[in-house]
Chains A and B, each alone.
Chain A
Amino acid sequence: MDSEKELFTVSVFSENTVGLLSQVALIYTRRCINIESISASTCSIPGVIKWTITSIATRHAMEKVVLQIEKCIEVLKAFLYTDDEIVYQEVALYKVDTSLLMDEPHLEEIIRNHNARILDINRDFTVIEKTGHYSETTALFEELKRYNLRQFVRSGRVTITKSEREFVSEYIEKQNQRKNGSQQG
Chain B
Amino acid sequence: MIASSTKPGDALIELVDLEKIYRVGTELVHALRGVSVSIRENEYVAIMGPSGSGKSTMMNILGCLDVPTAGKYMLRGRDVSTLSQSRLARIRGRQIGFVFQTFELLPRTTALKNVELPLMYAQVSRKKQRAMTALQRVGLEDRATHRPNQLSGGQKQRVAIARALAQTPDIILADEPTGNLDSKTGEEIMAIFDSLHSEGQTIIIVTHEEEIAARCRRVIRLHDGRIATDNIVSRPKPATQYATVTAQ
A and B interact? no
Residues of A within 8 A of B (CB): none
Which residues of chain B have a CB within 8 Å of any CB of chain A? none
